[in-house]
Structure 1
Amino acid sequence: MVESVKEMAPDLPCILYYFFFFLLLPSSLVAQRNGNVKVGDSLTAGDEAALWLSPAEDFAFGFHQLGQKDLYLLAIWYHKIPDKTIIWYANGDRPAPKESTVKLTAEFGVVLNNPQGGEIWKSGPGNGEAASGFMNDTGNFLVANEGGEKLWQSFDLPTDTLLPTQIMEKNDTGGLSSRLSETNFSRGRFQFRLIEDGNAVLNTINLRTGSPYDAYFWSNTVDSNSSNAGYQVVFNESGYLYVLRANTKREPLTLGSVVSATENYHRATLNFDGVFVLYSHPKNSSGNERWSVVRTMPENICINVSGQTGTGPCGFNGVCTISTDQRANCSCPPRFSLLDPDDRYGGCKPDFPTQVCAEDVPNAPEDYELEEVDNTDWPFSDYESYTPYNIEDCKKACLQDCFCNCSSTSYWLVWLAFAFLFFYHKKFTRTPQVERAVQSNLRCFSYKDLVDATNGFKEEVGRGSFGIVYKGLIQIDAEVSEERAILTYWAYDCYQAGMMHALVENDEEALDDMEKFERFVMVAVWCIQEDPESETNHEDGYADARRHNSSWCSTMSKPI
């Protein structure tokens, strides 16, 4: 048959030749060209050429290999960009082995079977009516009956990503769910949903039951009048994400303008660390471009996830620090190690036997030591609070308490070289005693260091307030001595005498902006006084500075 067509070709119009040529192709290859899939069409895991492509080939539906393993994910991904970013997947909890097949059936819609014919996943509902499928250029795969009526579409069952033209309804099938990790597509610990009161929220969940814990981000679209509350989450064709209220008012989740949707792809993905990110990417990629961040929600995942139940992005005992792109960096406290060596977001375990409170088990204070971790907290773990307690009192309390695994102390710290004041937070984790070399490290800061670390001092403290903004960027690894605290007399006297230059000696940057420098000396002086309304009674104020480590102490049952 093929030979006869070739012999006829010179005498036939070109269009007739191509018509006969397409008739000879397997149906799955025809589907690759126009997005159409017929009942009976199938793909096989491991066959890299077996794809159902959208008409413009922006998206592909098929099997995505997981790493170097012979395991495959039935997924939809961006086909034209180099990293083939996945935007939907079917069998995250049950990866398919090589030679598995996916087939469009009239009875059950899209069906995924293992090589032995056992069912792994199916879309439904087919009800004997499914006639065709279509891979759309919006990234939506749908199944329709003979009359073209939609029976099922992937947009109705989003995984971790929303795409332009996609809409999320209130209480819509669980909303978005993060992956468990970057490479593990099982259900993760974070959700994005539009809940009954009209708020679009991010929250953690109980992995075993799926029940939600406290929200850590809100769209603030709740209203006692239901006609004004959030109604839908809409990602429009321009790449603009917003909550649509029932009164048609839009509450933006995209802040500012967005790049052209004609020239760029857009997506909104709930990442495995709980950060919901809006991205854009050039469509005509040269191979070097990466996804650009439009917005992250929340801005600091380490601080915002602090509910009384569940874990943060780093798991139990994990220490979270925020990266420059507002993603979580996870590490373990001293003498703890990763629970799973291949997953630094999965929590940490102690590298020592944990203590027990039993009469026949000794728990003498000398058997343990406290490891210091600055500017770190385990929220809602406190069970005892002591006030006033200095650092040594706090350590002693924890060592004498068999329930205590961690203790915390906080106080005001005066850095007298430039008369700036920072909130200093110390955390101690309890570990068995080991021999080790002790090293004290005191870091000095230039005026430029302080300007950089505090974002140019853009946020100031009002008169009479103890609330200096704590940015968590300055770490000082030694206690401030009592002698330094006495030097506040000198700093205040220099201020009174108009000799501020004496505090900074020859630091040209400070000398160039003495007005701002003077203002912050005043802030520091106000903040160390016991009577914040007083501007001149520095005798009382400096007494507080000399007691800088007499603050509060709390003991905690975490980590472990």
Structure 2
Amino acid sequence: MRSILFLLITLSLFHSANSKSMLLLKRGASISVEGNTFITSPDNSFTCGFYGLGSNAYWFAIWFTNSKERTVVWTANRDKPVNSQGSRVSIRRDGTMVLTDVDRSIVWQTNTRTTDVSAAELLNTGNLVLKNPRGDILWQSFDVPTDTLLPSQILTKDKRLIASFRKGSFESGYFNLYFGSNNVLSLITDSPQISSLYWPNPDYDVYTSGRTNYNGSRLAVLDDMGLLQSSDHFQANASDKGFGIKRRLTIDHDGNLRIYSLINSTGLWTITWQAISQPCQVHGACGSNGICVYAQKPKCICTPGYEVNDPSDWNAGCKPTFNQTLLNSKVKFLELSQTDYFGSDLYYKPNFTLKACQELCRRDSACKGFTYRTWGNGHCYVKNDLFNGFQSPDFPGSVYIKLPRSVKVSKPSIFNGSSTTCESREIEIPVGSPSMYAFARRTVRWVYLYSFCAALGALELIFILLGRWFLLRKHGVPTSVEAGYCMISSQFRRFNYAELKKITNNFREELGRGGSGTVYKGSLADDRLVAVKRLGDVFQAEDEFLAEIGTIGKINHMNLVRMWGFCSEGRHRLLVYEFVDNMSLDKHLFNSNFLGWKQRYAVALGTAKGLAHLHHECLEWVIHCDVKPENILLDNEFQPKIADFGLAKLSRRDGPGSEITRIRGTKGYRAPEWALNHPITAKVDIYGYGVVVLEMIKGVKFSYWVVDDADDQETPLKNLSWTVKEKAQCGNSSWVESIVDPRLKGKFSRKQAATLIQIGLSCVEEDRRKRPTMASVVQTLMECEDETEIKVLDKLELIY
């Protein structure tokens, strides 16, 4: 065994020793698969060379050197891999870079036709370029993108990103990002069956989507800060916006467009923005005759009466299990409620009855089904193709699948279950029968039974609609929140109470407790550690719990604790979070195991980024209402993650519910407006953040000095503010040192400390109108993050 291990180590070292890297591939030179030679960027961020998959397939590619899986961002021959033996890339004397296969046939080549090319070089941006002796770029890989756009790479009107066909492959798929004929940056599926736009939302016009088609330049770029912007007025920010992070914009195999950020410590990628929040809205995700549904995570199923063409490729859709000529004889209709298919409408008939719509489809041999939307007087959409269906609890209608009566179909399991899931039933329409009640005498008894069941169903439907109306009226919660948690998304799952008891060993190890509940340590079956929060009585209302879960489950940011699941069973309400290694900030601030200055500044910046995401970037404007060190957790790199967000009332931005009034928060971190019964806005979080920042600077917990008298609660902060102003105005150059935690022994940045004191004092202003926004705080801290030391600060100009 030892000899085998020694041999493997020796071979590994031999392989590493024989791999060669170069900064330039000069004209006349070449690299081959066997040669194990690569071109690297000067900063070693990117590598270019032969990339292998499987046993004998290689691509000439560029990838991130430091990503764990060597993530590829460009391939020259994405649809035609070459052989491991004899394949090579060379720069010929005519200046053309050529990729040849084992038989020396040309697989790919650049369009350069000049003998002035001197060498190929891989830049720090990930751009492979051909240069002349003067350094001019004659050709670049940035001009021929595949599925990825790198920062500073420009997507122009004559270029497009094309997704890979499937996960783990490079071949071209059906999803595209490009400027469409309306001059708008768009996502489109372009399959052999159909071409269909799905982003921006085709149900809205260009201007409603916030775009403009007066866009002659047609340019889009992702910059080094994480800002994606297009000349059609589209803009999007990575949630970790800022310099110094490796990012990429990729159109994935599932048709979604995402910004990824690289975590240096692990080499893994995290999603920091995506275009489509609901995966089933991607047209073509399940192909013809397929339906995209949510069952803990999005998945494809075939329309009843159809079977999948290729289980490994849902783009190929499903095929009928019956002879389609039978649709011209006796047929029946299968109803799938809250389900529809994108496009393919033969007819649209407004103010139409369900019976008339059925008859219209039955008589038309081209009709494969119809959608009946139930708002107003009823709307009939007759379909000539069942292309990429989707299920949504917000869809006000049903689709009726046309099938031969002889075909036996079973109800898909996804449509079974509680009243919040879609139900399906068959509706038979005998050919030539003017009425569905024209049965033979022996079947009359069934009519009464059906009628009785229909009456009960109608009553149940009325109660459901009234309940949803009341929920919407009282809480402003969309029906997708009420109904969506049996199909919530791939980000987290629903646990039952017995599972959580087992995971936590009967709630044995308590991590902490607070006003909203108690947290226990647990371990999932895959050995991932979790924190399970058992919520208090205040959360027993089902509608409130589901509404809050609906918002929390959609939030994803590197400085916010990620939720992995939930439980709503009887009186039990529990949340399952990721486990954060280094406990809360207070454990590393107010005792002997205290953080250094660099870590404190990083915590201040990361916490500000997390709150800014909640306040400015979430679909729902989330107010935390209890910002304090105990709710700021630290991961294994001491990066902050805000916990317990979303457990307060939610407030829509600029809407009638933009203020809340329920008292929350912790004494010492609670803004003055709580006690004064003023409307509560995001400014309460800014106040709490200011207290936390000042506590980090001084290393002292202000809440120790807080008494029950509201007028006295802010005395320590008032004293600190008065001291700072007095010393600054008197020209005391040592005022910063007199405030910063003496345990640091002077090892801190004076400029950063002054900036944090500025921010902290402005955040705890009594007049909330004078407090800054979290977005402006982030900007100020980021500008100071790459600081230059100053020795004396003569005057502090407070931010008001």
Both structures adopt the same fold (TM-score exceeding 0.5): yes
The alpha-carbon deviation at position 255 of structure 1 amounts to 3.2
Q: In the alignment, what sits opposite 1:296?
A: 274
2:369 equivalent in structure 1:
406
Choose from 262, 286, 292 the match for 1:281: 262
2:135 is the alignment partner of 1:148: yes
Which of residues 48, 51, 56 in structure 2 aligns to 1:70? 56
1:299-346 per-position Cα deviation (integer Å, ceiling 9, x unaligned):
3353364xxxxxx23222222246989xx6333212322223321222
Q: Map of 1:107-506 to 2, 5 A cutoff?
A: 107-169=94-156, 171=157, 173-194=158-179, 198-205=183-190, 214=197, 216-217=199-200, 220-222=210-212, 224=214, 231-244=218-231, 251=233, 253-255=235-237, 257-262=239-244, 264-285=245-266, 289=268, 291-300=269-278, 302-303=280-281, 305=283, 312-321=284-293, 329-355=299-325, 363-365=328-330, 368-384=331-347, 388-390=352-354, 398=361, 401-411=364-374, 423-431=396-404, 433-434=406-407, 443-444=417-418, 474-477=421-424, 481-483=454-456, 485=458
Q: Please name the residue that 1:509 is paired with.
A: 541
Report the CA distance shift for 1:156/1:434 in structure 2 as closer, same or farther (over 3 A): closer
The residue number in structure 2 matching 1:43 is: 31
SS in 1 for 2:374: strand
| 1:429, distance to aligned residue in structure 2 (A) | 4.1
Distance 1:243 1:353, change over 3 A: same
Distance 1:408 1:46, change over 3 A: farther
Q: What is the RMSD of the two structures over their aligned residues, measured on CA atoms?
A: 4.2
Alignment gaps of 5+ in structure 2: 1-17, 201-205, 377-392, 426-449, 468-538, 546-800
Structure 1 counterpart SS, 2:134: coil
Query: Are residues 487 and 153 of structure 1, via their aligned partners in 2, closer, same or farther at CA, if it must alter by over 3 Å?
Result: closer
Q: What amino acid does structure 2 have at the position aligned with 1:200?
A: L
Q: TM-score, normalised by structure 2?
A: 0.44
Gaps of 5+ in 1: 1-27, 246-250, 306-311, 358-362, 414-419, 446-472, 495-506, 514-560
Q: Report the secondary structure of 2:280's partner residue.
A: helix
Partner Cα distance (2:185, 2:326) in 1: 43
Q: Which structure is richer in relative contact order (CA contacts within 8 A, separation 6 or more)? A: 1
Tell me by how many angstroms 1:240 deviates: 1.9
Equivalent position amino acid for 1:254 in 2: A
Higher strand content, 1 or 2: 1
CA apart distance, 1:108: 4.0
2:336 partner SS: strand
Distance 2:116 2:398 in 1: 65
For residues 142 and 154 of structure 1, what CA distance do their matches in structure 2 show? 7
Aligned amino acid, residue 201 of structure 1: S
From the superposition, tell whether residues 353 and 265 of structure 1 become closer, same or farther in structure 2 (CA, over 3 Å).
Answer: same
**CA distance in structure 2 between the partners assigned to 1:301 and 1:271 by the alignment:** 12
Identify the structure with the greater helix proportion. Answer: 2
CA 1:162–1:512: 2 relative to 1, 3 Å: closer
Q: Give yes or no for contact 1:269–1:277 (8 Å, CA) kept in 2.
A: yes
Cα deviation code 1:327-372 (max 9, x no counterpart):
x633321232222332122221122222268xxxxx431xx54444
Q: Which amino acid aligns with 1:84?
A: R
Assess, with a 3 A threshold, how the Cα gap between structure 1 residues 87 and 474 changes in structure 2: closer, same or farther.
same
Matched residue type, 1:37: L
Question: How many residues are aligned here?
Answer: 405
Distance (whole Å) between structure 2 residues aligned to residue 134 and residue 80 of structure 1: 19
For 2:259, the aligned partner's letter is L
Distance 1:122 1:70, change over 3 A: same
CA positional deviation for 1:274: 2.3
> Residues 204 and 213 of structure 1 are in contact (CA less than 8 Å); yes or no, is this contact kept in structure 2?
yes
Aligned-pair distance for 1:58? 2.0
Letter in 1 for 2:84: K
Using the TM superposition, give the Cα deviation of residue 231 of structure 1 relative to its aligned residue in structure 2, in angstroms.
5.0
**Identity rate of aligned residues, in percent?**
24
Q: What SS does the aligned partner of 2:258 have?
A: strand
For residues 92-111 of structure 1, give each alpha carbon's deviation from its aligned partner in whole angstroms, at most 9, with x where no partner exists.
Answer: 22221222111123324321
C-alpha contact (below 8 Å) 1:412/1:422 kept by paired residues: no
